Structure 1
């Protein structure tokens, strides 16, 4: 389930759980209620990566991206990460902070649609 994640990745994940961004808190409020009866984990370690939210039953990662994700270097890193995640059978969907904070109804509908 963790694909060889090292202890440092688990430590980093714990720190991220303790310091969630406002958009992550908004998404977590939806996911912690177990939509459609599905359990999600916050800041879940997988290999060298930390997934914002992960549902093992659906093999789904939900990412909430801050503004730095538009930087060309970060875009390349995100593509590499998504490629790895997909190769191990995990589907990844991404939402921007703006989408979460300003259009949450659409984000919620899309998440529920994918989970069905």
Structure 2
């Protein structure tokens, strides 16, 4: 099952690709250089949403949460979004933006491990 985005989410994704934050850029560069041959898409449109990173063979979304994700209605919006993704058989990993700068190697190891495990399960 292919994960498609709406016209609005495609437009938002295109805009967001041009506006990536330093933690998002650091993660993107590390994901592109992984030694496992995993391919990720950045700012991928998915239904009405935009995923920061998406590994299609593993059905894995990776989100970098800046400080704004802790305020206002963002926690509820993120929970609704994550529930929609889970209903699409997408696993979501969320990391605080500060984690990208402090522990990028550990984050990459965890993402790679989860992606490889999910890819194996999905391919079976």
Structure 2 residues not aligned, in runs of 5+: 117-124
TM-score by length of structure 2 reads 0.86
Deviations 1:52-80 (A, max 9, x none): 00000000000000001111511010000
Runs of 4+ with deviation above 6 angstroms: none
Task: Pick closer, same or farther for the CA change 1:110–1:29 going to 2, 3 Å.
Answer: same
Deviations 1:30-66 (A, max 9, x none): 1122541111101000110000000000000000000
Deviation at 1:105, TM superposition (A): 2.3
Could you tell me whether the CA contact under 8 Å between 1:35 and 1:112 is conserved in 2? no
Note if 1:44 corresponds to 2:44: yes
TM-score by length of structure 1 reads 0.92
The size of the alignment, in residue pairs, is 115
Task: Pick closer, same or farther for the CA change 1:35–1:61 going to 2, 3 Å.
Answer: farther
Structure 1 residues not aligned, in runs of 5+: none
Mapped to 2, the partners of 1:45 and 1:36 lie a distance apart of: 24
